[in-house]
Structures are given as structure tokens and as C-alpha cells.
Structure 1
């Protein structure tokens, strides 16, 4: 099989905050934005990776979930336990410094993990955990 990752999805609940984080702070480009009522699907990606996109989607848009499930999703997002994304950078210290200076919610400063990866962690405005691995 010849497979590549085309899209990954993360929930968001604030269009402006999501754009400020992913576009303005992380430097992703907006590739598409679709709005329906007060919900937005925002497709972003790194300019150097035109074939891979991150789609920020409204978590309550799925008609197949119940009100109770929506409540649980909202609670999990607020705690940062609903969704996660791992990014990579060759310079973790510079990336972390830029995130910290940009006001990102810091979860973990750069550290050498016992399993051999040096990484840090922040939360996006929706509470999603963003881990950043140092890859050289």
C-alpha cells in the first residue's frame, strides 16, 4: 500500500482564537474555510507540506451525537483530554520560546523523555494538547 496522511482533524470552539494560534503563532496557512451558521471548518497546513492538512472542526456539528455526548466532549476539551496533535521541529528551544512569547498555554517545558524523545507540550485555545517533538 502507498498511503499518506492527507487530513487530520481537531475540534475547535472559537474561530478567531484558532486562527490566532494556528495561523498567526504557528505560521500555518489557511487553505480553506467553510462556515455554516455560527460553525466553521478551517483547513490549515504548513506551507512546506502542501499535501498534509489540519482541519479544525466544530465538535457539536455531528448530528449523530447526543446532547450528553456534546457535554462530555466540551468537558474533555476544557481539560485538554479530548484530542491531541504531535508536531515536529529541528529546534525545540526556539519553537518553545516563540510559543511562550506568543502567549500559548504551556503544559510542559522542553524535556528529555525517558523513552528517548525531547519534547514540550502546549494547549491550543480549544484545549487540545499539542506536543512538539525535536527531530533532527
Structure 2
């Protein structure tokens, strides 16, 4: 068994697609119209057949309070692995990304947390 798909709820799929591709560097994998919304996924360019991230619309009534509670408590919606958190932090900060947590070493893991501009906090993590 392996993870094939995971998702983050986004306030605006177009804005999310732009952020996740143009800023973070993912690539669009799938886009299928579904009424007002789309089945919209991105993948790592390093693993184009790997785990897909669904940019899922935040339309369900339970999503808004859930997302707000996570952000209010500083809890990331998901975590992405990077080779060097400090280098990625610098690269993304230069591109205008707002971080809520600068790189922090916690034993064998270094993390930082960013705002994805679509209602989520996202963690980047590097394991020693």
C-alpha cells in the first residue's frame, strides 16, 4: 500500500494553481472540469508519477472553521520534504512567500512553515 493522492483545501483553485506551480515549483498533473470547480492536481517535477496533491475547493461548510482553527493554532495542513530547509526558505522568501515559522532545528529534523495564500499553513521539512 502507498499514498497515491492527498489534498489541501484551497479558497481559490486558480490562485492555488499559480502558487503551487509558479512559486513552489510543482507541476500540474490533472485538470478535469467538475461544474464550477475542477479536479486539479499537482505533482513534484522530481516524481511526475508520484503522489498527487489535490487542490480541493473549500466549498463544504465544515472546511472554513477547520482551516481557520488550524491556522489560528499554527498547525500546518501538510508537510513537504525538501533537501535543505534553509536554502528553500531563502529561495521562497525572495519570491515573496510569507513564513509564519523560520527554519527551526528539532533534533534530526529542520522545519519552516509558510502561508500558501489560499488559507493554509504548509510545513517544509528536512530530515538529517
Q: TM-score, normalised by structure 1?
A: 0.79
**What displacement does 1:78 show?**
4.1
Taking the TM superposition and a 5 Å limit, the aligned residue runs for 1:1-136 are 3-49=1-47, 50-60=49-59, 70=61, 72-78=62-68, 80=71, 84-113=77-106, 115-136=107-128
Higher-Rg structure is 1
Name the CA distance, whole Å, in 1 between partners of 2:12 and 2:34. Answer: 14
- Which ranges in structure 2 are unaligned for 5 or more consecutive residues? none
Structure 1 residue runs of 4+, over 6 Å off?
Answer: none
Name the CA distance, whole Å, in 1 between partners of 2:64 and 2:19. Answer: 19
Q: TM-score, normalised by structure 2?
A: 0.83
- Please give the secondary structure, in 2, of the residue aligned with 1:119: strand
Contact 1:77 1:83 in 2 (8 A): no
Considering only aligned residues, what root-mean-square deviation do their CA atoms show, in Å? 2.1
